[in-house]
Amino acid sequence: MVTAFKSLFSNSNQGIGVELTPDSVNIVQLKQQKQGTNLTSFAAIPLPVGAFQDGRIQDPDAIADAIRQGISEHKIKAKSVISAVPIGEAVIRLIRLPAELDEMELRDMVLNQEAAIYLPFPREEADVDFQRLGTDIDEDGIERVEVLLVATPKDITENYLAVFQQAGLDLKVLEVSSFSLIRTLRSQLLQFMEGEAVALVNIDFDGTEISIVMDGIPQFNRKVPIGTHHLANALSRAMNLPGSMGVDLLQGMTVPLDVNDSTANNPSSAAILRMLNDLSDELRRSIDFYLNQGENLDITQVFVSGPGASLGQIDEFLTQRLGLTTTVVDPINTLEIQNSENIPIAKRPALGVVMGLGMREV
């Protein structure tokens, strides 16, 4: 079995991350040097439509070919890589157990008893791992340990293993995409006070992943079916154009901030605003759900990433709609990645996950 969901941070000087998305396979190779983290290789190999869909591998041959192509063209020699499953294909739960349990008792309770309670599918059909966090005293005066439980269906794990093996690679670690994004934003997250939470919003091709993170630990995770694919289709319908043209129209588009008659009469602007208003409503519902889980909970800031974060003024739009400061993630600047001048600024927000994968071993 792949070494899944271990520590978020590791010790090495070189890492290769491979991210599967509905429209491409993204590959980065990072190397730690005295002067900083160096981008040794970067590739984005297009995938046929439907090869990776709804967070699952549908055409393993096409994906394996794309991985091999990226590795070969960029002359990447290392064979061990790290990848991630989308948040919608994982179960992530924070659970609290008696602190008096020893390691063997804790492991047995989490992997067997607790997992069976929280999984929406049979325990025997799941790959489960966990990370022990800190301890505290609950309201009844009992010391408890907090544990992060993570699971995926076995068929997903096995499909990832098989496709990387077919590509001639060893999948060393399979984690969850939100963990990778947390790693990318580590230096920024460390600037927040203990107990302050932030929302990570990854607007991807086929949906938007929402993670609320406090003290570096995901507290709430959700995926909503509004992504760049849906935005592009809305544009195409509004303009009576073929669906493929919506993708081109979406690139370089700026989100209107002042809604007036001219905006309302512009079919493309009106279509984008309808979709983004729906997305911001879903974000607000997610934030409100988290805030209602206990007293004194607060969201300090929103970080937006993914291909959809390249929309002009998306940060200002979400700031207005949510009433929370929103920042577009630039993983190149955040991680101070060197030798990355060839990656256009507009493409960088889409690389938050894959850069986090590459950083795991660096």
Looking at the domain assignment, is residue 11 inside a domain?
no
Looking at the domain assignment, is residue 126 inside a domain?
yes
Q: Tell me the C-alpha distance between 277 and 320, whole Å.
A: 11
Residue 11's pLDDT band (cuts 50, 70, 90): very low
If you average pLDDT over every residue of the chain, what do you get?
A: 90
Q: Of 99, 126, 152, which closes a domain? A: 152
Are 290 and 199 in the same domain? yes
Tens of pLDDT, residue by residue over 258-275, are 766 556 568 888 889 999
Residue 13's pLDDT band (cuts 50, 70, 90): low
Q: Of 103, 130, 152, which closes a domain? A: 152
Tens of pLDDT, residue by residue over 87-136, are 999 999 999 999 999 999 999 999 999 999 999 999 999 999 999 998 88
Are 200 and 295 in the same domain? yes
The range of the structural domain enclosing residue 142 comes to 91-152
pLDDT of residue 89: 93
Looking at the domain assignment, is residue 58 inside a domain?
no
Tens of pLDDT, residue by residue over 58-77, are 999 999 999 999 999 999 98
- Per the CB < 8 A criterion, the answer to whether 291 and 298 are in contact is yes
Query: For the ranges 5-14, 25-34, 247-256, which has the lowest average pLDDT?
Result: 5-14
- DSSP tally for the chain: helices H, then strands E: 13, 16
Are 323 and 198 in the same domain? yes
Looking at the domain assignment, is residue 241 inside a domain?
yes
User: Encoding tokens for residue 339?
Assistant: 């030798």
Q: Tell me the C-alpha distance between 311 and 301, whole Å.
A: 19
Count of domains observed in the chain: 2
Buried b (16+ CB within 10 A) or exposed e, 280-313: bebbeebbeebbeeeeebebebbbbbbbbbbbee
Looking at the domain assignment, is residue 319 inside a domain?
yes
Are 95 and 202 in the same domain? no
CATH number at residue 97: 3.30.1490.300
Q: Tell me the C-alpha distance between 92 and 227, whole Å.
A: 22
Are 205 and 322 in the same domain? yes
Looking at the domain assignment, is residue 248 inside a domain?
yes
Contacts of 156 (CB under 8 A, 6+ apart): 56, 57, 85, 89
Are 144 and 250 in the same domain? no
User: Residue 1 above 80 pLDDT?
Assistant: no
Are 204 and 111 in the same domain? no
Are 140 and 211 in the same domain? no
Residue 241's pLDDT band (cuts 50, 70, 90): confident
Are 219 and 134 in the same domain? no
Looking at the domain assignment, is residue 226 inside a domain?
yes
